Amino acid sequence: MADKINNPVAMWQKMVGDMEKGFNSFANQAMSSPEFSQAMNRAGGVAAGAQKQLGELMEKYLVTMNLPSREQVTGLAERLQLIEAQIGEMKAMLSQIAASSGIPQGSDGTPRPPRTKRPPSENGGQA
Amino acid sequence: MNAPAELDFASIPERIQTEVQRAIQRSIKGVEYFSTSGPRLGSTPKDVLHSRGTMSLYHYRPMSDEIYRVPVLIVMATTNRGYILDLVPGQSFIEFLLRRGYDVYMLDWSAPRPEEKSLRMEDYVLDFIPDCVRRVQQDSGEQDVSVIGYCFGGVLSLLYGSIHKDGPMKNLICFTTPIDFREMKLFSNFSDRRYFDVDRLVDSVGNVPPEMILSSFEMLRPASRTVSQIQLWENIWNDEFVKSYRMFDRWATDTLPLAGEYFRTITKDLMWDNKLFNDTMSVGGRSAKLEDIKVPILHAVAEHDHIVPYDAAKHLIAKIGSEDKEEVMLKGGHVSLVAGANAVKRLWPKLDSWLGKRST
């Protein structure tokens, strides 16, 4: 406490902290009113409409510039994802084959530790 | 005129020297700040077990010689990235679990693509989570699975658990999970049904943009971003402070869009009609009542949570049907509870002592 009294840096930090709390509390009170909700949602509705129109305009611009459309890029991404998924399935199959041969293995191919751990309380406090 | 008794004139030159040194360091480190990237986040070794659209299932590589029988599946909130639980070595919840002998999986989300705007609540609760649970069972060779849900990931886990009453969920842990949406006062006011036309929003934008989600979080504490930037400048000479600031700032601003239909259901069923709290919630025509969850449950809430206030979370334990249930309130905020520097002393050991004995 004494340190805060004679330390200008600590005083400044406390002042900033108090200002933050005060402003947040004041703003929260103001934002709790139905009027705020009405104004915010009116502005938000306009922004959403504008965003949609801008998006459509950009699509037309890309077509004019002979650039790939979003749909085409998305199509490529989907094909990549399918390939990734197939690799994942193959890895899972390999793990299953390894498991059926009696070696517990992870998807990275390394052996898994045994599932025998007991909580420390049952081991006399040993982790 | 006498100076206050506590005023220590002798220390003034030393303080001035310290402040001058810090001012010099601020200039040097300030340049460094803008010319370097932050620490690498989410670096605990992991494998992608499965990926489908917005959903990814990771398996983290074990870090102990012996692991618990029951694997753990973490269900991340759909608004944010899972690396908040795996920041950097020494401050990673995932790393902590691995070192304590848990076999850890995570259901994480990426931004839904425009064509995924039609994903519904049932896709998340009746498809994504059960699919991941099946894959965890298959990968681990175990039937039982413990589920940890963070924030809205907790809500999804509750819906999943209440519908899949016969298993295979063995234990459920929720972090800062709201069930009474009336008590999320500001969110409730922002989405007041008299003024918020959710249908118009979703029909016009498809997926709800991340900027909108981020703004609504930041509006809960409108002065905090400016103040945190002032604090950054004051402490820019302090490498640890800057590292922590960069980690949390990057994560907080890395908000995900929400699938349109899913957002529509959240708004109508949860924000407007408070159906989970009122026991009238259903997903894909299947009733989801909290009283139907009978597995052991731990709910961790934060004393200073401004996103999910305690009033929105406090009825969870009372409404759950389990006999083995516990709520723990710890110091911290919505994020620092699970990922802050003090989580390593508070939440993580508590979770370990609770879950360890239920994981054999």
Residue B227 to residue A106, Cβ atoms within 8 A: no
Task: State the Cα–Cα distance between residues A116 and A9, nearest whole angstrom.
Answer: 55
Mean pLDDT of B303-332: 92
Q: Give, in order, the Cα–Cα distances in Å from B251 to each of B48, B214, B247, B254.
A: 21, 11, 6, 5
**Which of B61, B66, B222 lies closest to A117 in CB terms?**
B66
Q: Which residues of A touch B205 (CB under 8 A)?
A: 48, 51-52
Q: Phi and psi for A45 in degrees, rounded to 5?
A: -65, -45
β-bridge mates for residue B153, sequence order: none
> B19 to chain A: nearest residue by CA?
A9
pLDDT for residue B74 is more than 90? yes
CA gyration radius for chain A?
30
A39 min Cα distance to partner chain B (Å): 8
**Which of A45, A51, A106 lies closest to B59 in CB terms?**
A106
Residue B1 confidence (pLDDT)? 44
pLDDT band at A9 (very low <50, low <70, confident <90, very high): confident
**Looking at residue A10, what DSSP letter applies?**
H
Mean pLDDT of B115-124: 93
Which residues, in sequence order, are CB contacts of B4 under 8 Å at separation 6+?
A5, A6
Q: Which residues of B touch A107 (CB under 8 A)?
A: 47, 49, 59, 139
Interface of B with A in 2-21 (CB under 8 A): 4, 6-8, 15, 19
Residue A48 to residue B51, Cβ atoms within 8 A: no
pLDDT band at B41 (very low <50, low <70, confident <90, very high): confident
What's the pTM value of the predicted model, to 2 decimals?
0.80
Residue B211 touches chain A, beta carbons under 8 Å:
no
Residue B329 confidence (pLDDT)? 93
Interface of B with A in 102-141 (CB under 8 A): 103, 113-115, 135, 138-141
Most B CBs within 10 A among A12, A20, A121, hence the mutation to make, goes to A20
E strand or H helix that includes residue B51: strand B46-52
Structure tokens of B36? 């370097």
Residue B132 confidence (pLDDT)? 96
Most B CBs within 10 A among A41, A84, A97, A100, hence the mutation to make, goes to A41
Question: Are A39 and B37 contacting, i.e. CB atoms less than 8 angstroms apart?
Answer: no
Task: State the Cα–Cα distance between residues B96 and B346, nearest whole angstrom.
Answer: 13
Give the burial string for B115-137 (b: 16+ CB within 10 Å, else e): ebbebbbbbbbbebbeebbebbb
pLDDT for residue B2 is more than 50? no
User: What SS3 string covers B188-247?
Assistant: HHHCCCCCCCHHHHHHHHCCECHHHHHHHHHCCCCCHHHHHHHHHHHCCCCHHHHHHHHH
Beta strand pairing call for B145-150 and B286-287: unpaired
C-alpha torsion B320→B70→B74→B202, nearest 10:
-60
Mean pLDDT of B208-229: 79
Residue B186 touches chain A, beta carbons under 8 Å:
yes
Work out how many CB contacts closer than 8 A connect A with B.
156
